[in-house]
Amino acid sequence: MTAQNSERTKKSRNKEIKTKVRNDNLLKTSTQIINPAIEYQKEKFNKINNENENLKTENAEYKIMYENVVMHAAVLDNELEKKVQEITKVSSTDFLTKIFNRKKLYESFLSEIERKKRYHADFSITMFDIDHFKQINDNHGHDNGDIVLVETVQLVQSLIRSTDIFGRLGGDEFIILMPNTVLSVARKMVERIKKRIEEKFKISIDKVTCSFGVTKYNNNETMKDCLIRADKALYKAKNSGRNKVAMFQ
């Protein structure tokens, strides 16, 4: 029994040794297979991670570039808007006096006619020029003539209302459109302007006066018809001695 037990124990140990050797070999083989795979996965992960970091960096750079482009576009858009406003202003402003030019004045006149049709609001028109302006140019030169024009405009601008529309027809001839103003009120306003020009005009050359023709817009007439009446009123003022206010209905 003792010999048999000893033999069994020996066989059992041999079996355990073989099993251990086999397991060790399997572990060694597995390690040889798995470790390179793990290293490969690590390298792949590191590569992907590096690529992600690079993408993050590129995205941050692209974001900064995009923000710069948007900012630059906003600046350009603002500059463009300013240029458009400048061009619009230049196209509608008299170069010398800085009030509306003939084109803008006529556009405003037509707008007031449409407003009259829609709301039945009265509006009056004043046409005026500087008396003997040619003599001022001839006697004192065109530079001084320009000063007279500019200072006359500045004075009139200080006397009219913010709702009134003031423009230069050309030369020394001007128009004031007076929205929501009946003819009698328009005449009183113009008499005040005439008086202030006569009394307060401060230049070192000839006395400066203006003649004024006042009329109102009549229903369903054209702008041309109304301007013809204003022109007739102006010549009526000039023919009656100048430095006058005359009306023509």
Query: Where do the structural domains in the chain lie, given as residue ranges?
Result: 1-92, 102-247
4: its two tokens: 């048999």
3-state secondary structure of 120: coil
98: left (phi over 0), alpha (psi -120 to 50) or beta: left
Give the residues across from 177 on adjacent strands.
Answer: 125, 165
Identify the pLDDT of residue 246.
97
**Contact, 165 vs 177, CB < 8 A?**
yes
How far is it, in rounded angstroms, from Cα 165 to Cα 187?
16
pLDDT in tens, 227-241: 999 999 999 999 999
User: Would you place residue 41 in the very low, low, confident or very high pLDDT band (cuts 50, 70, 90)?
Assistant: confident
The DSSP call for residue 163 is T
Q: Which of 1-15, 111-125, 156-170 has the lowest mean pLDDT?
A: 1-15
pLDDT in tens, 101-112: 999 999 999 999
Closest among 188, 216, 189 to 123, alpha carbons compared = 216
- For residue 68, the number of C-alpha atoms closer than 13 Å in the C-beta half-sphere is 6
Tell me the fold of 102-247.
Alpha-Beta Plaits (3.30.70)
**Contact, 178 vs 124, CB < 8 A?**
yes
Residue 226 in this model has a pLDDT that exceeds 80? yes
